Amino acid sequence: MEFCDDCGSMMKTEDGTWVCGSCGYEKSRNEETEEGMVTTTGQQESEIVDISDAEDQGRPTTTQECPKCDNDKAYWYMQQIRAADESETRFFVCTECEHKWREDDH
């Protein structure tokens, strides 16, 4: 993988040169440098493991009433859903019915 020296975008190869799709910057390819690059060509995909039936060990829980089934225990996690300069949003997942809601939902 190669990145543009001018704008930092990822570049693609065309006829022996690296070409930036964003600004059009071009530079020649170097076989010695490219030998050390890691590519996905020839790599095997890892086995997909189904964890849907696994217990949710390790996730933090809290006392929070589920609006759907009135269970009083939920897993929680934080996620950035707005701009980076705004605070994260806390999500809850009911330990019984797996209903998902945000902290600010009413």
Known binding-site residue numbers for Zn(2+): 4, 7, 20, 23, 66, 69, 94, 97
Q: Nearest to residue 71, comparing CAs of 104, 89, 40, 93?
A: 93
DSSP 47: P
List Cβ neighbours of 87 (8 Å cut-off, separation of 6 or more).
Answer: none
CA atoms lying within 13 Å on the CB side of residue 53: 2
Return binding residues: 4, 7, 20, 23, 66, 69, 94, 97
